[in-house]
């Protein structure tokens, strides 16, 4: 696309720090999130969950619950369809179990009642007869051939015979002769790593208000990263038609990938259909942690060979991810991302997904990448230490750049890794002095970035203002960014544009808000929709002026004659054209529908200083700097916000957060007291440096920025802690007891 | 269960409501009074999204019973702006992009306002410790701390 244009372009709106359209609503408490609305006559739904990690459901007796005064409906798995499609079928049996429960927290039955407290009482009256089955929650244990089978017959054809039934898929990426590469190395390090599952930790639990009639017509209001995804899942699971289900996305109180699936919406719809009333369901925090998507847990072996002067000669990785009790594709992204930052002659990555008796994995910000890159960047750091090399110089020496055949297949176009590394090297943080028990770590990070299916409508209003209708929930300020790009392209002030998020009946299909795709893909479609509206406005001006439409140009928000031959007409502004649109052909709008590609990969580098306490094993983050290529930062505040927020989620993953399962297969820390996410007093300032290496695939050069920043913290902190503690750490989180044990032997 | 009548003052308005004995102040605010600005993030007092002022102290309204507010003064996020004029903290939070999803914002604003009432010129560390009971998963807290300090400076100068 028009990279040449964009390099010359001087932006007026893009790159400024305008106020957000939802700002006042959000600072005054007016903004309506998932749990904030009610409907006349509505009931309250509640779900009964399995206390067992793995069990057969012999029977469910709901009679006592159904008899309780105020209970209007009870549903079990039998009330949902089992779609033919395996993915939808997994969603159905995850919403309400059928014959077996697969993990502690798996939904078994649900009630709708006239009050929350009656609903809570009612689920206690449901009698479930379980036959407890052997369970497995650890990825390595689940991979042993004699491990209890979480599900049977789920392995894809690419899994060799004779492996545990829990192994569902194998993937492999790479190129070159790895053994020959290792033969050329002066130093080879091979290490094994483990990382715990973590949760997205959005502060707003899943919530919805649903209504469904016996005629199959319904509505859902819910907090989600994708209203079209909710529609598709609910339609499949309830056996109704998508056209009859309208899904409205509320303001969303955080998602980070965790709201890219459905847990309660189909259940609320089933309860509504049965009771004939609207049903509201709001998850508790305990339910969120036990039953919605944590990320994968991982076990990984990484081997890298290096010459004495720091050139990597070969790299091999074997990754075992568990995405919980179902087949899962996150391993593929983890295996592809592992060595993406390096220009390698010989590289091989093999990945396995393994089922365990844990909740179904749901993507968490750059799914799969933080863990694999943590392992790779740890080994690179250890090689630097052993060979006495500067870790930034070694990254620069081996960095992927334009023309590099990536470890996962594609050849890179314009990428910003070298510029980002150079920015880190030039930053005063890199050479600041360190004290006793302190260490500095760094890591590269990478994310693919997605494009995907996108629809945008852009309406020119008769008063000269502009309405943009898009279909992706605004999770980090995207309505502002989309309005900015519309204003930029049209040449009108930002304040003249209002962007709204459509419900599923108001706009064509859009992929979910994921993969850092929205500012890129919705922005691209918005710019194209604005261009379509501009073409129409130029036609209208040509008509008014009585000249050929090719003789009209769009400059600074107005139609102007292209040159002296077109006559001497004063410019007609957008507002002037809009005011007379009724006389020149009717309302003016532009729209664009696209399956966008060219998202442009994103690289980041994080620098961190840590101090470890030799007496307690506690780690303090002293200083943190994030460097990242944003392509073009549309709203720099929000880009910085993504960089800071991602870094802090990574800090939590590195130091504290983990799913802890007992011998009984039950989750032991299903609350924010024991599943400890970072708080303000844990942290220093998070400094940010935005690089702008334009993405050739976007008219303004935009790259997604949301996911890359959670990738580097794991290794950056582990490298800093390992250097500070004088012992190489190979397991996350580096909680105080674990670090203390490593330090004291 | 027999409901209990409660008389209280919310954001300066005398308010009467009926609630069950086991009902939290948060549920009363949200479900009975339509004040949905306070959010339930955990229901166990760990996240601070439901923070309100009760007789001049910041509390997690999920840990207070509705009946405990008999005769009390309650302040919620809905009472923070003066008509169309935002409180400086509210305005600066927008200016400094101190929110992303915004779900924690009401609780953080309530807590920050109470800090500045007690300590108009806090250090960054004091702000960070005061807000340690308010979880934010989006921002990494950086812009929140800066916004509180900017608002504090404005309020001191006013």
Give the tens place of pLDDT for each residue, A219-255.
Answer: 999 999 999 999 999 999 999 999 999 999 999 999 9
Distance CA A628, CA A295 (A): 24
Indicate yes or no: CB of A638 within 8 angstroms of CB of B100: yes
Residue A167, domain member (yes or no) = no
pLDDT for A178 beyond 90: yes
- Please indicate, yes or no, whether residues B68 and B96 belong to a single structural domain of this protein: no
Provide the pLDDT for residue B73: 98
Instruction: For chain B, give the percent of residues with pLDDT over 70.
Output: 99
Instruction: Answer whether A212 touches B (CB < 8 Å).
Output: no
Residue A3, domain member (yes or no) = no
Provide the pLDDT for residue A565: 85
- Please indicate, yes or no, whether residues B44 and B24 belong to a single structural domain of this protein: yes
Sign of the dihedral through C-alpha A639, A643, A646, A652: negative
Distance CA A150, CA A156 (A): 15
Residue A244, domain member (yes or no) = yes
Residue A103, domain member (yes or no) = yes
The residue from A291, A306, A338 where one domain ends is A291
Instruction: Answer whether A69 touches B (CB < 8 Å).
Output: no
Residue A19, domain member (yes or no) = no
The residue from B31, B61, B79 where one domain ends is B79
**Contacts with B31 from chain A: Cβ below 8 Å:** 38, 116
Provide the pLDDT for residue A564: 84
Q: What's the CATH number where B74 sits?
A: 3.10.20.30
**Contacts with A284 from chain B: Cβ below 8 Å:** 43
CA distance B111 to chain A (A): 13
- Please indicate, yes or no, whether residues B63 and B108 belong to a single structural domain of this protein: no
Cα–Cα distance list, A379 to A123, A211, A699 (Å) = 50, 53, 38
The residue from B79, B113, B146 where one domain ends is B79
- Sheet architecture: strand order including A452-460: A497-501, A466-470, A452-460, A588-596
Section B33-48 average pLDDT: 98
pLDDT for A9 beyond 90: no
Instruction: Answer whether B107 touches A (CB < 8 Å).
Output: no
Provide the pLDDT for residue A7: 54
Summarised one tens digit per residue, pLDDT across range A393-436 is 999 999 999 999 999 999 999 999 999 999 999 999 999 999 99
- Please indicate, yes or no, whether residues A249 and A349 belong to a single structural domain of this protein: no
- Please indicate, yes or no, whether residues A302 and A287 belong to a single structural domain of this protein: no
Distance CA A445, CA A417 (A): 9
**Contacts with A113 from chain B: Cβ below 8 Å:** none
Determine the 3-state secondary structure of A182 from DSSP: helix
Distance CA A745, CA A740 (A): 8
The residue from B17, B52, B79 where one domain ends is B79
Tell me the whole-structure pTM to 2 decimals.
0.97
Residue A643 has phi, psi (to 5 degrees) of: -65, -40
Residue A230, domain member (yes or no) = yes
Indicate yes or no: CB of B101 within 8 angstroms of CB of A252: yes
Length of chain B as a residue count: 158
**A113 within 8 A of A44, measured Cβ to Cβ:** yes
The pLDDT confidence band at residue A477, using thresholds 50, 70 and 90, is very high
Instruction: Answer whether A20 touches B (CB < 8 Å).
Output: yes
Summarised one tens digit per residue, pLDDT across range B97-110 is 999 999 999 999 99
**Contacts with B97 from chain A: Cβ below 8 Å:** 17, 20, 477, 635, 637-638, 640-641
Cα atoms found within 13 Å of the Cα of residue A602, Cβ hemisphere only: 35
pLDDT for A2 beyond 90: no
The interface pTM score, or ipTM, of the predicted complex is: 0.99
Q: Among A87, A137, A58, which Cα is nearest to A325's?
A: A137
CA distance A536 to chain B (A): 36
Summarised one tens digit per residue, pLDDT across range A266-300 is 999 999 999 999 999 999 999 999 999 999 999 99
pLDDT for A739 beyond 90: yes
- Please indicate, yes or no, whether residues B15 and B64 belong to a single structural domain of this protein: yes
Q: What's the CATH number where B96 sits?
A: 1.10.150.120
Give the range of the structural domain holding residue A233, as residue numbers without chain letter. Answer: 43-133+204-253+259-291
Nearest by CB to A203, which of B35, B104, B144?
A: B104
Chain B: residue whose CA lies nearest to A476: B100
Indicate yes or no: CB of A685 within 8 angstroms of CB of B142: yes
DSSP string, A642-698: HHHHHHHHHHHHHHT----B-TTS-BS--STTTS----GGG---EEEEEE----TTS
Helices vs. strands in chain B: H and E counts, helices first: 5, 5
In the numeric block, which tokens belong to residue B44? 């166990």
Indicate yes or no: CB of A680 within 8 angstroms of CB of B127: yes
Q: How many CB atoms lie within 10 A of CB B40?
A: 25
Indicate yes or no: CB of B100 within 8 angstroms of CB of A22: no
Instruction: Answer whether B151 touches A (CB < 8 Å).
Output: no
The structural domain count of chain A equals 3
The structural domain count of chain B equals 2
Summarised one tens digit per residue, pLDDT across range A305-347 is 999 999 999 999 999 999 999 999 999 999 999 999 999 999 9
**A501 within 8 A of A249, measured Cβ to Cβ:** yes
- Please indicate, yes or no, whether residues B108 and B56 belong to a single structural domain of this protein: no
- Please indicate, yes or no, whether residues A733 and A625 belong to a single structural domain of this protein: yes
Section A474-497 average pLDDT: 97
CA distance B58 to chain A (A): 17
Mean pLDDT value across chain A: 97
Instruction: For chain A, give the percent of residues with pLDDT over 70.
Output: 99
Question: How big is the CA angle at A702 (ends A699 and A703), to the nearest 5 degrees?
Answer: 135
- Please indicate, yes or no, whether residues B108 and B140 belong to a single structural domain of this protein: yes
Distance CA B109, CA B87 (A): 10
Instruction: For chain A, give the percent of residues with pLDDT over 90.
Output: 98
Chain B stretch 39-98, residues whose beta carbon is closer than 8 A to a beta carbon of chain A: 39-44, 46-47, 49, 76-78, 80-81, 86, 90-91, 93-97
Give the range of the structural domain holding residue B39, as residue numbers without chain letter. Answer: 4-79
The residue from A546, A573, A596 where one domain ends is A596
Best of A671, A680, A684 to disrupt the B interface (most B CBs within 10 Å) is: A680
Summarised one tens digit per residue, pLDDT across range A431-457 is 999 999 999 999 999 999 999 999 999
pLDDT for A3 beyond 50: no
Instruction: Answer whether A19 touches B (CB < 8 Å).
Output: yes
In the numeric block, which tokens belong to residue A198? 């973590």
Q: How many CB atoms lie within 10 A of CB A186?
A: 14
Length of chain A as a residue count: 745
Chain B: residue whose CA lies nearest to A675: B46
**Contacts with A23 from chain B: Cβ below 8 Å:** 93-94, 99
Section A126-153 average pLDDT: 98
């Amino acid at each position: 696309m028009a990279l040449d244009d964009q390099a010359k372009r001087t932006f007026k709106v893009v790159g400024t720090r305008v106020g957000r359209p939802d700002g006042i609503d959000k600072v005054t408490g007016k903004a309506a999130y998932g749990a904030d609305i009610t409907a006349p006559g509505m009931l309250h739904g509640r779900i009964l969950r399995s206390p067992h990690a793995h069990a057969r459901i012999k029977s469910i007796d709901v009679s006592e619950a159904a008899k309780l005064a105020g209970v209007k409906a009870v549903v079990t798995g039998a009330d949902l369809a089992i779609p033919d499609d395996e993915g939808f079928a997994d969603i159905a049996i995850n919403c309400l179990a059928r014959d077996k429960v697969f993990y502690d927290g798996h939904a078994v039955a649900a009630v709708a009642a006239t009050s929350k407290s009656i609903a809570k009482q009612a689920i206690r009256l449901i009698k479930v007869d379980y036959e407890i089955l052997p369970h497995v929650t650890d990825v390595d244990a689940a991979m042993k051939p004699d491990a209890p089978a979480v599900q049977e017959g789920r392995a894809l054809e690419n899994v060799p015979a004779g492996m545990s039934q829990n192994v569902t898929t194998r993937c492999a990426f790479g190129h070159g002769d790895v053994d020959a590469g290792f033969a050329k190395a002066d130093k080879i390090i091979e290490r094994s790593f483990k990382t715990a599952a973590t949760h997205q930790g959005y502060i707003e639990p899943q919530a919805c208000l649903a209504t469904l009639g016996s005629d199959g017509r319904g509505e859902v209001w819910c907090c989600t990263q994708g209203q079209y995804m909710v529609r598709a899942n609910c339609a499949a699971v309830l056996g109704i038609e998508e056209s009859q289900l309208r899904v409205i996305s509320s303001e969303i109180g955080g998602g980070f990938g965790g709201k890219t699936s459905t847990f309660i919406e189909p259940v609320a719809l089933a309860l509504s259909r049965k009771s004939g009333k609207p049903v509201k369901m709001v998850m508790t925090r305990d339910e969120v942690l036990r039953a919605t998507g944590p990320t994968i847990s991982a076990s990984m072996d990484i081997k890298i060979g290096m010459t004495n002067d720091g050139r990597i000669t070969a790299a091999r990785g074997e990754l075992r991810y568990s995405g919980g009790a179902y087949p899962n594709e996150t391993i593929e992204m983890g295996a592809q991302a592992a060595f993406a930052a390096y220009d390698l002659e010989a590289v091989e990555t093999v990945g396995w997904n393994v089922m365990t008796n844990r909740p179904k994995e749901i993507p968490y910000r750059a799914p799969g990448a933080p863990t694999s890159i943590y392992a790779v960047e740890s080994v690179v750091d250890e090689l630097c230490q052993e060979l006495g090399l500067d870790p930034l110089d070694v990254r620069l020496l081996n960095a992927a750049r334009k023309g590099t055949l990536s470890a996962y297949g594609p050849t890179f176009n314009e990428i910003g890794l070298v510029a980002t590394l150079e920015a880190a090297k030039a930053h005063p943080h890199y050479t600041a002095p360190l004290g006793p028990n302190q260490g500095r770590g760094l890591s590269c990070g990478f994310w693919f970035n997605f494009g995907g299916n996108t629809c945008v409508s852009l309406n020119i209003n008769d008063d000269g203002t502009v309405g943009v209708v898009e279909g992706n929930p605004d999770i980090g300020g995207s309505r502002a960014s989309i309005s900015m790009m519309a204003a930029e392209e049209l040449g009108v002030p930002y304040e003249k544009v209002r962007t709204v998020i459509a419900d599923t009946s108001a706009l064509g299909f859009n992929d979910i808000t994921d993969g850092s795709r929205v500012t890129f893909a919705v922005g691209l479609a918005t710019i194209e929709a604005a261009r379509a509206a501009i073409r129409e406005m130029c036609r209208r001006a040509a008509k008014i002026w009585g000249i050929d439409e090719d003789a009209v140009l769009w400059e600074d928000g107005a139609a102007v004659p292209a040159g002296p031959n077109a006559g001497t007409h004063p410019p007609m502004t957008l507002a002037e054209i809009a005011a007379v649109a009724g006389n020149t052909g009717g309302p003016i709008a532009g729209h664009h529908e696209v399956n966008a590609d060219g998202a442009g990969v994103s690289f980041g580098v994080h620098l961190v200083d840590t101090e470890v306490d030799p007496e307690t094993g506690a780690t303090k983050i002293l200083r943190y700097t994030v460097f990242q290529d944003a392509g073009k930062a549309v709203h720099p505040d929000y880009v910085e916000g993504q960089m800071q927020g991602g870094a802090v989620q990574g800090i939590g993953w590195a130091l504290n957060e983990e799913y802890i399962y007992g011998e009984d297969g039950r989750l032991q820390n299903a609350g924010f007291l024991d599943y400890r996410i970072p708080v303000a007093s844990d942290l220093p300032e998070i400094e940010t440096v935005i690089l702008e290496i334009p993405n050739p695939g976007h008219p303004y050069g935009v790259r997604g920025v949301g996911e890359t920043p959670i990738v580097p913290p794991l290794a950056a902190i582990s490298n800093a802690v390992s250097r500070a503690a004088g012992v190489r750490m190979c397991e996350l989180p580096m909680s105080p007891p674990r670090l203390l044990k490593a330090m004291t032997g | 269960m027999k409901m209990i009548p409660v008389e209280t003052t919310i954001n300066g308005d005398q308010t009467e409501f009926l609630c069950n004995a086991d009902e939290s102040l948060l549920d009363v605010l949200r479900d009975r009074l339509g004040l949905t600005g306070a959010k339930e993030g955990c229901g166990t007092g760990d996240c601070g999204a439901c923070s309100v002022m009760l007789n001049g102290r910041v509390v997690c309204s999920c840990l207070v019973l509705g009946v405990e507010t008999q005769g009390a003064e309650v302040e919620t996020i809905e009472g923070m702006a003066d008509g169309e004029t935002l409180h400086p903290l509210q305005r600066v939070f927008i200016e400094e992009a101190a929110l992303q999803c915004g779900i924690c914002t009401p609780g953080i604003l309530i807590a920050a306002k109470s800090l500045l009432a007690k300590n108009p010129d806090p250090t960054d560390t004091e702000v960070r410790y005061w807000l340690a009971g308010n979880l934010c998963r989006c921002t990494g807290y950086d812009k929140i701390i800066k916004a509180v300090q900017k608002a504090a400076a404005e309020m001191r100068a006013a």
